[in-house]
Structure 1
Amino acid sequence: MTDEATGNEQQGDGGNGPGGGDGADGRRRVRVVLVDDHRMFRAGVQAEIGRTDETGVDVVGEAGDVDQAMTVIEATRPDVVLLDVHLPGGGGVEVLRRSTPLMGDAEQPVRFLALSVSDAAEDVIGVIRGGARGYVTKTITGDDLVGAIFRVADGDAVFSPRLAGFVLDAFASTDAPPVDEDMDRLTQREREVLRLIARGYAYKEVAKQLFISVKTVESHVSAVLRKLQLSNRHELTRWATARRLV
C-alpha cells in the first residue's frame, strides 16, 4: 500500500464509543471483517492492520464472496466491514443490501467502509447510496486505513481525498441524477455479466468469476442483448464502453 491520506482526525484512544470496546489492557478495540475476493490481498491487509496490540483493530473474520460475507458478518456482528466493490455473487452493493437490518441496529450497528482498487464514480456512488460510511482506495497506507476504520466505527464518513469532491457534488446536487433507462432494465447479475463480457472475458471465465454455470452465463448474455436490442457481444462491448462501464 502506498501513501494516501484519509484525513487528519485522530483515532479514539480509549473508552467505549458507538463502535468497538475496550480490551483487557484498557485500549480501544474495533472488530473488523475483511471482504475481498483476493485471498493474498486479505492476507496483506490482515498483516498490516491486524496487529491488535499496536493498532487496536481486531480482525474477526474474512470472506471472498457475497454469501461468505453475509455468513461471517451475521455470525460475528463486527463494528466495521472492509468491503471490496467487485465481488462474486452480486458485488459489494449486494452485501450492503442484505445487511440493511444490521446497519440499522440502534444498539450494535454494523458499519461499512469500501476498500477498492476502483475509483470510478459509478462504484463509489453505488456503495455510498447502498449505505457504506466511506470509500477509500487500495493505495491507502496501513496507518491511514486504521484511522479510517476507527472514524467509521464512530459514525463518521471517510473518503479518499480525490473521491470526496465528486461524492459531495453527487449528493449536494438539487437536480435528480440522470436515469439510464437501458441499465435499469437489467438485473444486478445481468450487469455483472455485461461488464465482464465487455472486458473481454470468455463465457467460462465469467462463469468462474461469478460462481455460475456457462449455460447460465449464456442465458444472461441473451437476456442482456434482448433487453438492450443489441445483436452480438461486439455491439455489447461498444455499448458498455460508451457508458464507461469497462
Structure 2
Amino acid sequence: MGADGTPTVMVVDDHPIWRDAVARDLAEDGFNVVATADGVASARRRAAVVHPDVVLMDMRLPDGDGAQATAEVLAVSPSSKILVLSASDERDDVLEAVKAGATGYLVKSASKQELDDAVRATAEGRAVFTPGLAGLVLGEYRRIAKGPDATSAPSLTERETEILRYVAKGLTAKQIAARLSLSHRTVENHVQATFRKLQVANRVELARYAIEHGLDE
C-alpha cells in the first residue's frame, strides 16, 4: 500500500493506448499506479522493484502469456495480487492463470466502476470472480476427481461446490450470501479457498482444460 493506504497498481498489457488509458483512469480514481509493463520480462523486472499490491494482467503478451507472467511476477513479488483482464474467448488461458496464482479475473468489457471495485477487492485479498471463472473451476475439479490421478485431486467441501454452482449460474456473491444465509465475505472466502485448492492440482502438471457445460448435473 502507499503511504496513505492507497493500493499500488501495475498494469500489464501490450497495447499502449489501452494500457495507458487504464492506468490514467485508475490514477484519476485515486489508485497509485506505480508501473506499467508490456510483456512477461518487463512485468517481472518492474514488479521486483515496485512490489505492487495489485497487478492487472493481460492474457496476450508478446513474449508469453498471462499465466507465465503471473508466475514470474509472484516469484519476485509474492505479496502481489494478480487480477487477470481477459477477453471472453480466453477461458482456458484464464484457468491456467488461476492455477499460476491469479486471484480472479475480469473481462475487458467491464465498466470503469467494475474495474475500480475489482481492484479494491483484489487489494483487500478478496476473490474477484465471474460466472465463467466459477464454471471453469468447477469443471476442472470434476475432471480431476474422475481422472486417473483422482487421489491427487484437491478436495472441495459441499459448501464450496454449492457456492461454485450458484456462481456458475450467474448469481453474485451478495445474492448467494442471501440465499445461503451467509455473509458476503464468507462466500468470497469459499471461492478463494477453491482457487487455492486448484493451484495444488497444478503441481501434478494436469493438462489444460476448459469446460463450458455440465454445471447443472
**In the alignment, what sits opposite 2:21?**
44
Mapped to 2, the partners of 1:115 and 1:170 lie a distance apart of 20
Q: Which moved more, 1:41-50 or 1:158-167?
A: 158-167
**Larger RCO, structures 1/2 (Cα 8 Å, 6+ apart):** 1
CA contact (8 A) 1:35 1:62 kept: yes
**In the alignment, what sits opposite 1:77?**
51
**In the alignment, what sits opposite 2:87?**
117
**Counterpart mapping for 1:97-112 below 5 A:** 97-102=71-76, 104=78, 109-112=79-82
Runs of at least 5 residues in structure 1 that lack an aligned partner in the other structure: 1-19, 179-246
**Counterpart mapping for 1:1-246 below 5 A:** 20-21=1-2, 23=4, 28-51=5-28, 55-102=29-76, 104=78, 109-171=79-141, 174-176=145-147
Name the SS of the counterpart of 1:61 in structure 2.
Answer: strand
Name the SS of the counterpart of 1:50 in structure 2.
Answer: helix
Offset, 1:148: 0.8
Mapped to 1, the partners of 2:12 and 2:146 lie a distance apart of 34
CA, structure 1 residues 167+65, in 2 after alignment: closer, same or farther (shift >3 Å)? same
| TM-score (norm: length of structure 2) | 0.61
CA contact (8 A) 1:85 1:114 kept: yes
Name the SS of the counterpart of 1:71 in structure 2.
Answer: helix
Kindly, what percent of the aligned residue pairs are identical? 34
CA, structure 1 residues 119+88, in 2 after alignment: closer, same or farther (shift >3 Å)? same
1:200-228 deviation per Cα after TM superposition (whole angstroms, max 9, x unaligned):
xxxxxxxxxxxxxxxxxxxxxxxxxxxxx
Offset, 1:160: 2.9
CA, structure 1 residues 64+144, in 2 after alignment: closer, same or farther (shift >3 Å)? same
Mapped to 2, the partners of 1:128 and 1:176 lie a distance apart of 20
Read off the aligned partner of 1:70 and give its amino acid letter.
R
CA, structure 1 residues 176+97, in 2 after alignment: closer, same or farther (shift >3 Å)? farther
Name the SS of the counterpart of 2:82 in structure 1.
Answer: strand
Mapped to 1, the partners of 2:46 and 2:73 lie a distance apart of 12
Offset, 1:44: 1.6
